[in-house]
Amino acid sequence: MLQGKTALVTGSTSGIGLGIAKALAKQGANIVLNGFGDSQGPQAEIAALGVQVAYHGADMSQASEIEAMMKFAADTFGRVDILVNNAGIQHVAKIEDFPVERWDAIIAINLTSAFHATRLALPAMKAANWGRIINVASVHGLVGSAEKSAYVAAKHGVVGLTKVTALENATTGVTCNAICPGWVLTPLVQKQVDAKAAAMGLSNEEAKKVLLQEKEPSMQFTTPEELGDLAVFFCSPTGNNVRGVAWNMDGGWAAQ
């Protein structure tokens, strides 16, 4: 379905980003990966799906590096047809104890990077009259949780940015939507499970149940594969008039 298209997925060397990149690759899209840590393994996984893959290690807190990444993608594949703004970090603390530098970093990587990548991707998408911008927000773009002020503020901002991007391009072939996952067992969430297990003297499995019981009625983690399939739907002809939505895949979290 996406043969000949190019998808750039930020924060895609693991977790949700890699899951979405693989789902798009299975539909024939060439992939530009971005992220920290091992890049060779994820590139091999994508290449094994029969598409072309490239990697750019842009620091998503730096506008100049995002500009370099977008230019690299265009130079390598022609243009970015599908932009998935997924890069994100987390820090947990009460507002009065929240380190200012951590607030700044979370806003920069979780929110501002999506603005920069979007503004740089839009001209070519509009010229082609086809494009898909998918912002990976969070259920925390819809509801709040204590001790996550920066993350919740950033993800609410991502949902707002999604709506404005969709409205500004409503009469074009460019759509913008947000995915709002609940708990997904990524390395980021596994750290929270480990911390809970240590603090409460629980096994890892028990800590997972406690985490799910607090928020997610289904008592199931959403998987990167499920989120990838939702991204594919947004890119499909059926998703052509799905515009500006914040689609939660959260096991009933926001329904409470």
Tell me how crowded residue 171 is: count the other CB atoms within 10 A of its CB: 7
Which pair of tokens denotes residue 85?
Answer: 């703004």
Integer Cα distance of 153 and 130 in angstroms: 30
What are the structure tokens assigned to 101, written together?
Answer: 């530098």
Rounded Cα gap, residues 32 and 80, in angstroms = 9
Radius of gyration of the chain (CA): 18
Catalytic residue flag (residue 55): no
Candidate list 55, 77, 103, 151, residue with the active-site label: 151
The residue length of the chain stands at: 256
Query: Which residues have C-beta within 8 Å of that of residue 216, sequence separation ≥ 6?
Result: 182, 183, 250, 251, 252, 253
Active-site positions?
151
